[in-house]
Structure 1
Amino acid sequence: MTNKYFEDEAITENDLFFVCYMIERVARKLHQHNKYVVNTIGYDELYHLMSVANVLHSSNPKQVEEDWINDYMLEKGDFDITLVNRELCDKIPTELDMGKVYSRLIVDTALPNEDYVSGIIRVYNNEICETIDNYNGSAYYEPSYVIARAYNEGGF
């Protein structure tokens, strides 16, 4: 995928990882599903964010989080991903952990000629995210090839 602002520069998997990490941060802060953040921001703005990710990753993540919330008028919800049964989940994965899970899933299940932004929208709108984001289960820490296979087969 080509950078929107510098046509000789490619958007990298590291840029994808950063955007997935920030989607997770913003969603957790607002008590929303990741899908809400992705769909509210939309394709064009996600493309912009992917194109500036190599600069944003050196910024304070809390400031980037606040900027996204304000710039895209994201609203608070009532979904708290961290409310888990402590007998089933004693350690909640971090935003970085889940950024890795989702960026790998996007890359591992990429469609022919699909760009990263389309991959983000495709994956975060798939029902499998409900299973991955249920930390009372084990889906989120399965190896990436297992998660990709489950995605392609329609579930775990």
Structure 2
Amino acid sequence: MTNKQKDDIYYVCCLIEFIARKTKNHRQDIIQYFTKKDLERQLRLAEVNHCLSFEQVSDELIEDFNIQDGMFDTVSECRYEVPSVTSIGMLYQELVLAIMKKEDAAQGIIDIFSSFITDEISDFNSNVYYTNPDYLRCSYLEGKMLV
């Protein structure tokens, strides 16, 4: 996998995180709006779209896919400093790269963002997003947070 492909995965993960925060949705809810083909397209467009603001790209996707507002507000409920979209995007990128098969990035993104792990990471009042990425990978593979 090239560095460009890894950067594209990072961008799409950040974009999903941004959209989820903006619309106050669970990350699992956001990923359901996109088909694998849609994500493959976003990965292809990432190199161009990263020159635009997340606000602009997310507004277009929210409108194009009719993404509705939810009530999962992880930012305002956070009692501590909220981790940046890019910090969380990097964590998701690491997870996608660790679990994807045959360089199928779109499916890896779907698999990670459809899992329980996203609500765990999105609880900014916990320390899950600061934990070792390998612990998160093992927890994801086990289907629950390991003790």
Correspondence 1:27-106 to 2 at 5 A: 27-84=20-77, 86=79, 90-106=80-96
Question: Root-mean-square deviation (CA), in Å?
Answer: 1.9
| Unaligned 5+ runs, structure 1 | 2-8
Deviation (angstroms), 1:85 = 5.4
Considering fraction of residues, name the structure with more helix: 2
Q: Name the CA distance, whole Å, in 2 between partners of 1:76 and 1:127.
A: 20
Q: TM-score, normalised by structure 2?
A: 0.90
Q: Name the CA distance, whole Å, in 1 between partners of 2:116 and 2:103.
A: 20
Q: Is the 8 A contact 2:9 2:105 kept in 1?
A: yes
2:117 is matched with which residue?
Answer: 128
Q: How many pairs does the alignment contain?
A: 145
Matched, 1:18 2:23: no
CA distance 1:85–1:74, change in 2 (3 Å):
closer
1:5 is matched with which residue?
Answer: none
| Unaligned 5+ runs, structure 2 | none
Q: TM-score, normalised by structure 1?
A: 0.85
Q: Name the CA distance, whole Å, in 1 between partners of 2:86 and 2:31.
A: 17
Deviation (angstroms), 1:66 = 0.6
Q: Which has the higher contact order (CA 8 A, sep 6+)?
A: 2
The AA in structure 1 aligned to 2:99 is T
Deviation (angstroms), 1:60 = 2.0
Deviation (angstroms), 1:11 = 6.2
> Percent identity over the alignment?
27
Q: Deviations over 1:11-51 (max 9, x none)?
A: 60100000000101111110111111111122111111111
Structure 1 segments (4+ residues) deviating >6 Å: none
